[in-house]
Amino acid sequence: MPTLVLRNVPIELHGRLKSAAAAHHRSMTQEAIVTLSAALGTSAPQARPSAEETLAWLEDEVWSRLNDDPRTSDQIIGYDAHGLPG
């Protein structure tokens, strides 16, 4: 992939890019690519989800499936009506 080096970036612009990158959980390079792509009307490669986004998605998926299970915890574990493993 080609490399782009920017020199003499105004402090205010650098700060805005840094803030946007932090808000979107991206590196400054990733944020610059997404911003340039949006400004030029091209599609940027999809950024990988952050760890926080991945954990939130997993929690939603796991908990929604646990809550949808109609079985009781004893049925899931395998105990019979007498409390013994079945």
Write the pLDDT tens digit of every residue in 34-78: 899 888 887 666 777 888 888 888 888 887 777 777 888 777 788
Q: Which residues pair with 79 in a beta bridge?
A: 85
* C-alpha torsion sign, points 59, 61, 62, 63: positive
79 φ, ψ (degrees, to nearest 5) = -80, 145
Would you list the domain boundaries of the chain?
Answer: 9-48, 49-86
Q: What is the pLDDT of residues 6-40, one digit of tens each?
A: 999 999 999 999 999 999 999 999 999 989 988 88
Task: Measure the CA–CA gap between 69 and 86, rounded to whole angstroms.
Answer: 19
Q: What is the pTM of this model?
A: 0.49
